[in-house]
Amino acid sequence: MACRRWALCALFPLSLAATQAMAADRAGRADRADTRCRPAPAGIDVDAATDVRVHVRTIGAGRPILFIPSLARGASDFDDIAQRLATQGYMAILPDPRGTGATTGPAPGSLFDLAHDAQVAVEALCDGPVDVVGHAFGNRVARALAASSPATVRAVVLLAGGGKAKPLPQVGDSIAVSAAQGALPDDQRLGALQTAFFAPGHDPSVWLTGWYAKAKTYQGLAMQGSTIDQWWSGGNAPILLVQADADPVAPAGNVEELRKDIGARLRTVTLRQASHAILPEQPDAVTFLLARYFAGERDEAQLQRGADALIRP
């Protein structure tokens, strides 16, 4: 990464001797002083490779977090979470993946091509490493970025982070049906969305729109061009895996697989009453976990208790 480091980029752990109120304040707000990114609320276009032009925008100001969305979904999936984090001193960096939004470019050869797109977007805005969030398919790109460009990444949060444990049998073709915006009847797609992405009792209609067929094709090719051992461990970055308790696409077996492979670098939290979509299902808990983890909290019990207290029915 073509950037320089500075002392304040270091992420110091929270003091165990501090009072609960002081610890919550430090962990709940970002350290603005260590962030050197320029805002781009209207978006900018960045040349990432031959014939690849990445559109990236930002929300908020402060410590930077790069967001990488789910399969065939756009960066706008994170807008609500980004607005919440902005009130706590964070800047969301939101590049449009290839095949979505205003980003242009050919089909990628691997996940690492998509990771490079994200890296270039960061370098265009920031003079230093950033925290990274990968949701569902985006968890693969986030880990590929951490593996291929460790100087770009401080810490990683994986939301619905699958890869090794196979989806449960009931998933079937529900992902493909869910993504078929404009090609299949909404009634059919609603059932598929409920099966693959939303926990019982949650409204899947919020994801009827926001799908990109080209991105789905591109991302499928990127996975075919990559092997799991190339990206699974996420380099040497610290990782928080947020496991939705009703996720049939990225089931809980991935937690133990990742713990076995990366050991002490991993922290995990189980998100109750959530499935593969996570973001529209439990925005309060997700915001809490991102803010606390990226502020330095590594105590799994503290993270779990805080998330549990914010779970929506």
> What are the tens digits of pLDDT across the range 65-95?
999 999 999 999 999 999 999 999 999 999 9
CA distances to 10, 129, 138, 240, 299 from 14, rounded to whole Å, are 13, 20, 29, 17, 10
**Confidence check: pLDDT of 29 > 90:** no
> Length of the chain in residues, anyone?
313
Q: How confident is the model at residue 35 (pLDDT cuts 50, 70, 90)?
A: low
Q: How confident is the model at residue 34 (pLDDT cuts 50, 70, 90)?
A: confident
Does 198 fall in a domain? no
Mean model confidence pLDDT for the chain: 91
Does 199 fall in a domain? no
> What are the tens digits of pLDDT across the range 194-220?
999 999 999 999 999 999 999 999 999
The three-state secondary structure class of 122 is helix
Does 255 fall in a domain? yes
How do beta strands 52-60 and 44-49 pair? antiparallel
CATH number at 227 reads 3.40.50.1820
CA distances to 12, 89, 133, 156 from 31, rounded to whole Å, are 10, 7, 18, 17
Residue 271 lies in domain: 17-167+215-308
**Confidence check: pLDDT of 121 > 50:** yes
Helix (H) or strand (E) holding 240: strand 239-244
Task: Give the whole-angstrom CA distance, residue 112 versus residue 260.
Answer: 24
**Confidence check: pLDDT of 9 > 80:** no
> What are the tens digits of pLDDT across the range 237-272?
999 999 999 999 999 999 999 999 999 999 999 999
Q: How confident is the model at residue 21 (pLDDT cuts 50, 70, 90)?
A: very low
**Confidence check: pLDDT of 305 > 70:** yes
Does 246 fall in a domain? yes
Does 189 fall in a domain? no
pLDDT value of residue 33: 43
The residue-averaged pLDDT of 106-117 equals: 99
Q: How many domains does the chain have?
A: 1
Task: Give the whole-angstrom CA distance, residue 29 versus residue 96.
Answer: 27
Does 210 fall in a domain? no
Does 25 fall in a domain? yes
Task: Give the whole-angstrom CA distance, residue 127 versus residue 129.
Answer: 7
> What are the tens digits of pLDDT across the range 158-168?
999 999 999 99
Share of the chain above pLDDT 70, in %: 89
pLDDT value of residue 15: 35
**Confidence check: pLDDT of 284 > 80:** yes
Does 73 fall in a domain? yes
